[in-house]
Amino acid sequence: MPEYDFVETHDISIHADAADIYRAANEVDFSDSWMIRWLFRLRGMSANNVTLRSLRKSRFEMLGETLNKEMVIGIVGRFWTVRGGLKKIDAESFKKFETAGYAKAVWNFSLSPDGDNTCLTTEMRIKCLDAESRKSFGFYWTFIRPFSGLIRMEMLKTIKRKAEMGA
């Protein structure tokens, strides 16, 4: 999503090759982390068996994937509301979705060489589809951003532990 209103990026250096990290990212159960469990429950999301693939139950959709390099997932909703107003989408409808009052979020995990290590980066981009949703999301983001960042940083650490154990 080349155009967006909000963005947050985190990365971590991992002493493992890209294939081991990619496999770990797809296999790790993030609910093993008490912090992720707590933060997911706080948002009203299921905190059992949380994997990148299982996020589809929460309306996330795989938008694209390049094996051992990058995966991109997306979600559409009114994230600033109590229930989130999440829409059921697939990759094609995500691209076309432009309904006012909603926002689209893209979340990626990408790998790149980092000397003897591999850098795992995660980036969240949010595009609000009108001025009112941008204002509402901006207010919401002020409060939720630190916790959202904690989840993603904890995910990176969890992937790192699993990948380095298997390397």
24: domain CATH number?
3.30.530.20
Q: What is the mean pLDDT of the chain?
A: 92
**Structural domain that includes position 31:** 6-166
1 is a domain residue: no
Query: Has this prediction a pTM greater than 0.85?
Result: yes
150 pLDDT above the threshold of 60: yes
Ranges 33-37, 56-60, 145-149: which has the least confidence = 56-60
More confident residue, 137 or 54: 137
C-alpha 68/C-alpha 24 separation (Å) is: 11
In a domain, 78, yes or no: yes
- Tally of domains within the chain: 1
pLDDT value at position 167? 54
89-148 confidence digits (pLDDT tens):
999 999 999 999 999 999 999 999 999 999 999 999 999 999 999 999 999 999 999 988
Outline where the chain has alpha helix (H).
18-27, 34-42, 91-96, 131-166
pLDDT recorded at residue 59? 83
For 79-89, what is each residue's pLDDT tens digit? 999 888 999 99
156 contacts 11 by C-beta, under 8 angstroms: yes
Other C-beta atoms within 10 Å of 153: how many? 15
CA-to-CA separations, 24 to 48, 113, 116, 159, in angstroms, rounded = 18, 17, 18, 6
Kindly state whether residue 32 falls inside one of the protein's structural domains: yes
115 domain-assigned: yes
- Residue 24: pLDDT above 70? yes
pLDDT band at 54 (very low <50, low <70, confident <90, very high): confident
User: What pLDDT, on the 0 to 100 scale, is given for residue 43?
Assistant: 67
d(CA 146, CA 126): 15
In a domain, 83, yes or no: yes
Centroid of chain to Cα 92: 19
